[in-house]
Structure formats: C-alpha cells, structure tokens
C-alpha cells in the first residue's frame, strides 16, 4: 500500500457508470480542490463517453485499459474511482489475464460497485484498499461533510493510523468482549455476485462489512439469506451492517430488515450508521487488522491502517 504524498499523482478512473456531462463539469472543480491542497489529479479526458456502453461510462475494453494504465503509472500512488454504478465486475476477466504486480505499491479508493475490485485485489495481490466515498463526492458542491473529507485525506496520507466506528450489538455476544479479524466486504449485491467465481470473497477470519441502496427490503433479505446458506460466511468472525437504503413505503422498513439478519446465522452481527450510501460515509480500510470491543449492547471497531 502507498500513502498519498504531495509529489505523487492521484489517478482518477471510471470503472463503472458515468456520463460525459457530469464528468466534464466535475473535473475542473476537482482539479482546483485538490490542487489547493497540493495534490495532482491524473486522468484521461475521455473516461466517460456517452453511448460507448449500454450501462457503463465507456466500453469494457477502455475501462479495463485505463485502470491498467493507472496501476502501471510509476507516478501514481492512489487510484480513486470517479463514481460507482455498474460495470467494475466486467473488468475482472481482463485483469485476470494481466500482470499488474505494481499495484502492490498503490491503493484503490471507492465503494459501492468498486466492491468487485476491492475483493479481487485482496484475493490476488493481498493489498490494502479503502471503502470510501468516490472522488466525485469530494466536490465542494456535494453534501459530504468536511469532517468526513478531512478524515479520508488524513487516512490516505498516513497521518491517521486508525479508524474507529461506533457499533450496536444485534445478536447475543454475552460470551465475548472482543473480536479480532481482517476487514472485508462492501456492497451486498457485489459480494453475492462474487460467489462461484475465481474471485469469490474469502470470509475466513474476516470482519465483513455490508451495505446496500435503492432496492426493496425483501431483496436485501433474500441476498443475505443466500450468502448465509451458500456457506460464503464460513469462518467469518463478525458481520457489520451499514445503511440499507430501501425504496419501500414503510419508513421503518430498514430497521425491521436489519433485525431479521441475526436470525439466519450464529455469526456475531453488529450495526453501524456510519457507512453506506449516505452523506457521512466513513472511510473503512479493507484487508486490514481490526478489533471489535464489546460492552453490553454497545461496541466499537478499531481498524488499523
């Protein structure tokens, strides 16, 4: 893993969705924002090309090649996704045919659809990555709080060595006061989609983070139930559930949904309101050592960077 240094470049990639208009409007503002802090952004002007792909910002080949170029760039220390959406999973077969060992000297930042790349890079290269807001959410015009942006930059620069999140205990942990493991996970759908592939998530000795957005609660319940019954969580030390934004009319459906999950497994389950598709989406170091400290119904996780 590489920390973000002033003399290094941040390579912006579009591995998933995105439009030309949004990208072209955002990049001058992002350039100014990072330049004022002494950081240089590196990106290709045609990362987003409307119509090049049915679902994603550009063709699969283009998105794959631009990611590989960023990984191979000797001046780049950080690869930061412009946004999520859909499409990153389509890059994995091409990455499997490519040697990008140099990525061990870099790190990846993003969340949501980037979960596919996080899991892949952990499995193949055993590098640390960051589940964190995409770079478009760092814009001054976005609603990401300054305290969240400041923490992201502090962690990426190596000046903050730990990330601590408050948790609520959802299942019975009377026999435990602490749990240790390696952080993994991200978006529920992308974790589920890894099953049965060469880059299937490895949950052994892991603390699994899960979040989701913009679907009906029963679909989340079905996906989680499938993960449990597929034995994907075998060996997991704990599961931490973030925000599960539901489109149902019931305003309390998210809380009701979360209370269902502990019924399906004996793995310790916790809840955090500090990560997911929310304005105050905290940075979570992945493939890093972490410890959950438990006291009655309250807990916290401390993740080493």
Task: Name all domains of the chain by residue range, CATH numbers in brackets.
Answer: 9-157 (3.40.50.10740), 162-304 (3.50.30.60)
- Res 4 pLDDT > 90: no
Q: What is the pLDDT of residue 6?
A: 84
In whole angstroms, what is the distance from residue 290 CA to residue 305 CA? Answer: 9
Please write the tens of the pLDDT for every residue from 35-65: 999 999 999 999 999 999 999 999 999 999 9
Looking at residue 149, what is its pLDDT? 96
Residue 289 pairs with which residues in a beta bridge? 182
CA distance 266 to 113: 28
Residue 187 is predicted with a pLDDT of 98
3-state secondary structure of 181: strand
What would the pLDDT profile of 235-269 be if each residue is shown by its tens digit? 999 999 999 999 999 999 999 999 999 999 999 99
> pLDDT tens digits for 189-225?
999 999 999 999 999 999 999 999 999 999 999 999 9
Q: Residue 268's Cα: distance from chain center in Å?
A: 21
Q: Would you place residue 186 in the very low, low, confident or very high pLDDT band (cuts 50, 70, 90)?
A: very high
Confidence of residue 101 (pLDDT cuts 50, 70, 90): very high
Please tell me the distance from the alpha carbon of residue 207 to that of residue 225, in angstroms, as a whole number: 18
| pLDDT tens digits, one per residue of 109-167 | 999 999 999 999 999 999 999 999 999 999 988 999 999 999 999 999 999 999 999 99
């Amino acid at each position: 893993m590489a920390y973000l240094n002033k003399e290094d470049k941040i390579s912006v990639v579009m591995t998933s969705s995105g439009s030309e208009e949004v990208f072209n409007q955002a990049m001058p503002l992002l350039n100014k924002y990072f330049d004022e802090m002494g950081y240089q952004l590196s990106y290709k002007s045609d990362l987003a090309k409307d119509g090049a792909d049915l679902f994603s910002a550009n063709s699969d080949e283009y998105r794959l090649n631009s990611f590989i170029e960023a990984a191979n760039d000797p001046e780049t220390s950080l690869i930061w996704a412009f946004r999520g959406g859909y499409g990153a999973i389509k890059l994995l077969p091409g990455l499997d045919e490519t040697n990008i060992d140099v990525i061990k000297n870099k790190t990846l930042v993003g969340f949501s659809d980037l979960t596919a790349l996080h899991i892949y890079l952990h499995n193949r290269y055993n590098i640390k990555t960051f589940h964190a807001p995409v770079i478009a959410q760092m814009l001054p015009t976005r609603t990401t709080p300054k305290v969240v942006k400041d923490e992201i930059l502090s962690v990426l620069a190596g000046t903050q060595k730990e990330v601590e999140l408050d948790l609520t205990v959802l299942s019975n942990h009377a026999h435990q006061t602490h749990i240790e493991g390696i952080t993994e996970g991200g978006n529920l759908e992308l974790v589920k989609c890894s099953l049965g592939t060469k880059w299937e998530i490895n949950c052994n000795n892991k603390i699994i983070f899960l979040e989701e957005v913009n679907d009906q609660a029963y679909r989340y319940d079905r996906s989680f139930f499938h993960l449990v019954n597929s034995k994907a969580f075998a060996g997991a030390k704990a599961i931490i559930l973030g925000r599960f934004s539901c489109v149902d009319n019931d305003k309390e459906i998210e809380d009701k949904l979360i209370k269902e999950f502990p019924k399906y497994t004996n793995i310790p389950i916790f809840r955090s309101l500090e990560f997911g598709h929310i304005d105050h989406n905290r940075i979570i170091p992945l493939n890093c050592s972490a410890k959950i400290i438990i006291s009655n119904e309250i807990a916290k996780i401390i993740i080493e960077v």
